[in-house]
Each structure stands twice: as C-alpha cells, then as structure tokens.
Amino acid sequence: MKVTLKEVKNKKELKKFIYLPEKIHKDHPSWVHPIYMDEKKYFNAKKNKGFKYCDTKLLLAYSGNKIIGRIMGIINRRYNQFRNEKTARFGYLETWEDEEILKTLLSSIESWARDNKMEKIVGPYGFTDQDPEGFLIEGFDSPVTIPGYYNFEWMPGLVEKQGYSKDIDYFVYKLDIPKEFPEFYKKIYERIKRKGEFEVIEFRKRAELKPWIKPVLKLMNECYSQSDIYGYTPLEEEEMQDLAKRYLPLLDPRFVKGVKKGDEVVAFIVGMPNFTEGIRKSKGRLLPFGVFRIMRAAKKTKQLDLLLGGVKEKYRGRGLDVLMGVKMLMSAHEAGLELIDTHHEMETNTKVRAEMEKMGGVIYKRFRVYKKQL
C-alpha cells in the first residue's frame, strides 16, 4: 500500500482528523467517542492555550483518496525549558492494523522533531498531563474512563517494533466501596478530627463549588510542580480558568473534597461518576439529546472515577489523604456506588500505591508511555 501524508491546514481537514477515530473504532467494544464539542475546542489554536507555547504538526495519512490514519506531533517549549530537555511528543495516533501506515506516521513526526533539534520523543502524550497519556497495555475488557486512551491490543506491539521502549507505566486500581470502613482508617480519621487543626470542605451544589475551583487548581499547580510528576509543567492563570470551565459543568459537587487550615486550602481530591455509557449512546454528540443521556448515565452508574488529588507538601504524612478518602467513600456509599477507578498512578509513586493496596485495591488497568532517542 502506498501511504501519502498531508498536513492538516484548514477546518475541513481538521474535521476529518477529529472524526477519523470513530470509523477506525466502529466495531471496538471498549472504545468511547470523545465529546466532540470539547474535541473541536482542543484542536483549535484560538481556543486552546497550549498552542501558544507548543509547536505542533497534525498529519493525515492517505491511500489514494481514502484517509487511513492520523497523528499529532507536539513540542512543548515550556516543558522543555522547565525540565531542561529537548523532548518531542506524539499523540492521537490512530490507524487500522497496518505496520506500514503506523511506521510512516511515526517516522514523519520523528523527522519533524529532529529538524527542530529534539533529542527524544515520547508518547502518546498531549499538550499537558491533563490530556490522555499512555497506551492501554493491560485491562482491555475493563470499563472505559474519560481521561484515558482506549487503543486496540495490537497498537503497543506495533509501536515497539518501530524502536520504542517503555518510559513509564501507570497503574489503575479498582477499589470496592466498603459498607464498613477499616478500623485502622476510622482511628486516623477520628484522631485528626479531634485535634481540630484541619477542616474538611464538602459541597452539595455547584454554586458552592465554584469559588473553590481556583484555589484548588493553584494548589494542584504547587503540589505537582514540587513533586516529580511525569510530564508536568505549571499551568498559567488562563489555563487554570480553561480547565475550570472544561470540568465544572461535569463535576458532581458531592465528589469534590478539600481540606483547609484556617482559610488556606491545603489538600483536595476530585472524583466524577462514570458517565461514559451516556457518551457512547450519544456518540459524543451533546446536542440535541446527548447531554440528557450523559446525565442519565451518571445517575445509573455504579463507578466513581477519581481525577485529581494533592496535599500541600508541608502537610503530607499527617493523614489528610485519609481524612478526604473517608469522606469520599462515605459520599460514594450514600450515592449507591460500588466501585472506584483510581485513575493513573505512576509506577514510581510507591507511597500512594501502597495505600491503594492497603485499602484492598487491585490493579486492573495499565497504561504505558513510550520513548525513543532521535
């Protein structure tokens, strides 16, 4: 098969780029459409602040007049400056099972990265760590969640054949929501409450949540910048506002918990009922009825997906994670939920992983980010 590549230059080509995956994954039972309203904003240089500090290249692969694949190359200049690296990224790689197509797409982005003096390429990865990252390599029959890739099982093997190797693995744990909390956690929870030094923040209405979004995102920026979070660079004010706008309409206030000391927010955790079945039924279209299908799915689901969490550095090791965790489990139990998906935990984050296992969590999905020297 002769493969030709064309760079995406206009709205018509971008539309083809965005909607190609639903053709490729037509018969893929585990795949879920993106929410296309968000997807169009994400790839719009006027609306996505990431384009301001990233160089990008979007490619479509053709066989004759038929589109047979896509890929995006990203050079995050801010990340490279922050980490003192020369690293490019590939993401949004989609094609049918054909090594020649995949090789042509990856090779083109690698050449582009070399031309821009990059020394390494990693992927799949987006603009920031808030975007999907890593190919699924274990747990292909597991429930789908919003922030992760759901690729075919053959994809990682074909990528490895192009000279890529593991850069990092992420583990996703499944936690059953207990009807009775372990005595160990009850004691920690009660001890922290008795001291009265910290106060848990809980919400019932989205209007109550809104004023806290900015302090929580600022704390996330602080926590993740001080920790060795893979691929993370601090967000600017505009990006935090965009992130808030993106997620606030989707959040259920019951599953956002914070801890404050005086007037200062010192810890947070954010979860969301899994509503991917609603996205699947609406095929990623919110209008005219997709939004109602998504809301209905969120009410019927038995799974809570964790998204973000953090504790201010000087207060780590003082049980604030337990304080929030117990409250989150209480809210989940009251809502009739039965299962928690922990989202990505870095393989190197041994403390958090130990806590997950202590609570009875089992690994049921694994994602991998690949690397290649250029």
Topology annotation, domain 4-169: Aminopeptidase (3.40.630)
Q: Which of 114, 128, 26, 29 is nearest to 76 (CA)?
A: 128
In this prediction, residue 173 carries a pLDDT of 94
In the numeric block, which tokens belong to residue 361?
């969590």
Q: What rounded mean pLDDT belongs to the chain? A: 91
Q: End-to-end CA distance of the chain, in Å?
A: 26
Residue 147 pLDDT greater than 70, yes or no: no
Across-strand partners of 57?
A: 73
Between 316 and 94, the more confident residue is 94
Domain ranges of the chain: 4-169, 178-337
- Tell me what the mean pLDDT of segment 29-54 comes to: 92
Please determine whether the domains at 4-169 and 178-337 fall in the same fold group of CATH: yes
Q: How confident is the model at residue 207 (pLDDT cuts 50, 70, 90)?
A: confident
> What is the fold, at CATH topology level, of the domain defined by 178-337?
Aminopeptidase (3.40.630)
Owner of token pair 């459409």? 33
What crossing angle do the helices spanning 237-247 and 206-226 adopt, rounded to 10°? 130
Q: Map tokens 């929030």 to a residue.
A: 324
Q: What is the mean pLDDT of residues 178-197?
A: 76
Is residue 325 within 8 A of residue 270, CB to CB? The reply is: no
Cα torsion 325, 327, 333, 338 to 10°: value is -20
Place of tokens 């809502």: 335
Q: Which amino acid is at 1?
A: M
Over residues 106-120, the pLDDT tens digits come to 999 999 999 999 999
- Residue 150 reports pLDDT greater than 70: yes
Identity of residue 220: M
pTM of the model: 0.92
Q: Count of alpha carbons within 13 Å of 97, Cβ hemisphere only?
A: 9
Q: What is the pLDDT of residues 58-93, one digit of tens each?
A: 999 999 999 999 999 999 999 999 899 999 999 999
